[in-house]
Structure 1
Amino acid sequence: MVNTDLDSTIPVASSRRMSASLAFWTVGVTYLVVMASSAAPSPLYPVYQASWGFSSTMLTVVFAVYALALLLALLTVGSLSDHVGRKPILIGALVLLAISLVLFIAADGVGGLIAARVVQGLAAGTATGALSAAVIDLQPNSTAGPLVNSVAPSVGLATGALGSGLLVQLAPAPTVLVYALLIAAVVLLAAAVVFVPETSSLRTIESKRHLARLLLPRAAFPTGARVPFLMIVPALIATWSLGGFHLSLGPSIIGTIFGIDNHIIGGVEIFALFFSGAVSAAVVRTLPPRTVMIVGTLVLALGVAASLVSVATETVPLYFVGSVVAGAGWGATFLGAMRTLGGLVPADERGSVFATTFVLSYLAFSVPAVVGGIAVHTFGLEPTTLVYGAFVIVLAVLSSTGFVLASRSGSASSVG
């Protein structure tokens, strides 16, 4: 029988050379750095645009190819760690990530930038399912894993954007230094992961045909928990589409609508959004998942509404307040989703189910942002921002309403 007790961990080989507690934090930090690397190029986009002269539409293409490559990796190798182990997948992903960072340094035009983002997306997609599953496998208690799985993306995106913004504004050769520092971090983490105990139940790959079937793009849903899973989908779309928009066009909003020509401010705005999400997740981590989902989506909608008012009135302080509030909703909502899944998914399904969750998340992360970039070219930045924000608000309210109605009918008992 599959063990679904999240307070216990899967037995690991006796030859392990790192304690479970240290391994848990090593994997968590690895997750954070992978996400930081994905946000690091954002403050550099205006620099690339000024140097190479590409449009806002091309900018969102550069952003989106990362997410699409990530999706391809998630759909093909996302569940492979359930079969071959978490460690081989993670080490391979970190090698790919280091290669992508070298490509960023070598890029001398938009084509090189796209190539680097594609390899970076493949690396992140390969790592994401295995990282999320390993965090749950190694967690010291039933709340630590979902907390890290929800906080690591937000803190990683926040620190990646802020750190990159600071280097762009203050340091020499930022298009080299940003990636060189990340390469050093990735190499160190890859060496550390070698000593992390293997936690996968290692389901057998019976033949080459079986391996080929595993690599076919597919989605996996948690057994017996499809209704709660489908209930969180609008919330996932709302949160990740908001994040994608800020990472791709947030610096343009700061520069074009508010007239602020400072790369640090653009990084701070992204940092405010995602770091407040991390703080929010930590604050609400002990509340029932259903409560977290309801409150989180409403706070998200409120924050986005404040941001839209600030854009319409060109009020900079309100824009930052809206980002902080929306980020708090982002963090709480995503934590609620991860806790829901963490409590329902058997150990030998975690890699594939978390991969499916992130497929949905990164589709929301990329596709609306690309549509938004095209809309900016046609309708302008401010109208696009207002419509995009309204789209996020509608989804957030829809998700919150669904959980409230399910709670009253008693059908949401499985999600807390």
Structure 2
Amino acid sequence: MSPTATLALLVSIVVTFLASSAAPTPLYATYGAEWGFGSLGTTLAFGVYAVAVLVSLLVLGRLSDELGRRPVILAGIAGQVVALVVLTTAPDYAALLTGRVLQGVATGAAVGALGAAMLDVDRTRGAIANGTAPGAGTAIGALLAGVVVQFAPAPTHAIYLLVIALLLLQGVGVQRMTETAPRLPGAAARARASLVPEVRLPRAVRPRMLVAAPVVLAVWALAGLYGSLAPSLVRELGGQGVLLGTLALTTLAGVAAAAALVLRERSARTLMLVGIASVAVGVAATLTAVGAGSLVGFFAGSFVAGIGFGAGFQGAVRTVVGAAQPHERAGVLSAVYVVAYLGMGVPAVVAGSLVGHVGDVTAVVRDYGIAVVLLSLTALAGLLRPEAVVPAGPAASAETPVVEAVRA
């Protein structure tokens, strides 16, 4: 398999994994009506997935640095298929939560290996793909699930069966893929040691992570808002139909993927500046529209916020992985995703609890949005510090000097 074909395969798997995680979003209303849970149950189902990803990243995130990328990716695909089978046959809410936990474990195991493999194949294009694929997958999964739920028969089965078929085909492709990180002597012992939960950052990466982490937190907190509460908010604003509710997350994530691709030639610092500024402006516009009861304004603000999500995450990924050596890549990317899923999962669960307590979606969204804006401004202040360390060019390599002052 050629490097280009390998990179395309790896990107497609990331897209499928994130699409799989977004697929249940439009189904929560159906599940809730059948099994008797509301906003709190929805955000709990969303939150347990994020927590499972976090735990899996901490335990399994560095495994492919020792065992190789292919076996870890194949194990992740197998776990994702099992999770989707559980969701397809779920008879109750407990089974839904079980399926979401299994999805989170499989995603956490595979995402670091997939991202590292993309960098192994091509450092420049791999960094761009790492920042683009999550948004593309989330957008495709949410949109496809919305279409299936609204127009296809057996909606709680069809979307999952479609994703299972795609994953099985991708598994065959991984079997044909050349290993990008061959095992070295003593790998088994190091692999066992890597299972001890921790986030280990190489010395050269640490100052970059201090700059990038607030940006990652801000943009993924925004994703958590849309993934957990956007469908309910769209209904509050007068939107009708499952598909329209799903389009909020699709807009945010789809624009994020497009922005990351369009702005790929910009420096990492520029991307993060554009990202956090767009998040702040987009969320402020969204909150204004919610206050005015404008559905059109809500989607316009979501479009601007999506630019921030894509640009900010792309810049953060490039900032951090630019200093990682090949044998450190999976662990470093896993650490980035730990920050991301902390930002996405914890606020979403808290917001869902508040909705269940106060019964007002718009009030909770307003407070959540204000918190995201404040977090964005904090990230901006950190990025503008003179001692902040950010790679200078659009295609920063592992050899980029770490000590590089940012000039405004």
Contact 1:38 1:120 in 2 (8 A): yes
Contact 2:279 2:306 in 1 (8 A): yes
The answer to whether residue 268 in structure 2 is matched with residue 289 in structure 1 is yes
The answer to whether residue 26 in structure 2 is matched with residue 43 in structure 1 is yes
Offset at residue 207 of structure 1 (A): 6.0
Alignment of 1:6-405 (within 5 A): 18-139=1-122, 142-205=123-186, 210-255=190-235, 257-379=236-358, 380-405=360-385
| CA–CA distance in structure 2, aligned partners of residues 211 and 39 of structure 1 | 31
Query: 1:412–1:263: structure 2 CA closer, same or farther, 3 Å change rule?
Result: farther
The answer to whether residue 396 in structure 2 is matched with residue 413 in structure 1 is no
AA partner of residue 261 (structure 1): Q
AA partner of residue 22 (structure 1): A
Structure 1 vs Structure 2 CA RMSD? 1.8
Query: 1:409–1:105: structure 2 CA closer, same or farther, 3 Å change rule?
Result: closer
Offset at residue 260 of structure 1 (A): 2.1
SS in structure 2 of the partner of residue 397 of structure 1: helix
Offset at residue 409 of structure 1 (A): 10
TM-score, scaled relative to structure 1: 0.91
Offset at residue 406 of structure 1 (A): 2.6
Contact 2:208 2:389 in 1 (8 A): no
| CA–CA distance in structure 2, aligned partners of residues 206 and 154 of structure 1 | 33
SS in structure 1 of the partner of residue 322 of structure 2: helix
AA partner of residue 386 (structure 2): A
TM-score, scaled relative to structure 2: 0.93
Contact 2:84 2:99 in 1 (8 A): yes
Offset at residue 408 of structure 1 (A): 8.9
Contact 2:388 2:405 in 1 (8 A): no
Offset at residue 196 of structure 1 (A): 1.1
| CA–CA distance in structure 2, aligned partners of residues 159 and 207 of structure 1 | 37
Offset at residue 283 of structure 1 (A): 1.6
Query: 1:76–1:409: structure 2 CA closer, same or farther, 3 Å change rule?
Result: closer
Deviations 1:284-335 (A, max 9, x none): 1111111111121101110011111111111011100011100001000000
AA partner of residue 77 (structure 1): L
| CA–CA distance in structure 2, aligned partners of residues 351 and 414 of structure 1 | 27
SS in structure 2 of the partner of residue 220 of structure 1: coil
Identity of aligned residues (%): 36
AA partner of residue 140 (structure 2): T
Query: 1:198–1:373: structure 2 CA closer, same or farther, 3 Å change rule?
Result: same
| CA–CA distance in structure 2, aligned partners of residues 338 and 226 of structure 1 | 13
Offset at residue 134 of structure 1 (A): 0.5
Deviations 1:75-126 (A, max 9, x none): 1111000000000000011011011111011101100100110111111011
AA partner of residue 198 (structure 1): E
1:5 counterpart residue number: none
SS in structure 1 of the partner of residue 176 of structure 2: coil
Deviations 1:35-92 (A, max 9, x none): 1000000011111111111121121111111111111111111100000000000001
| CA–CA distance in structure 2, aligned partners of residues 347 and 35 of structure 1 | 24
| CA–CA distance in structure 2, aligned partners of residues 408 and 94 of structure 1 | 38
AA partner of residue 356 (structure 1): A
Contact 1:56 1:377 in 2 (8 A): yes
| CA–CA distance in structure 2, aligned partners of residues 223 and 155 of structure 1 | 32
Contact 1:406 1:412 in 2 (8 A): no
AA partner of residue 404 (structure 2): S
Contact 2:386 2:406 in 1 (8 A): no
Unaligned ranges ≥5, structure 1: 1-17
SS in structure 2 of the partner of residue 38 of structure 1: helix
| CA–CA distance in structure 2, aligned partners of residues 213 and 361 of structure 1 | 24
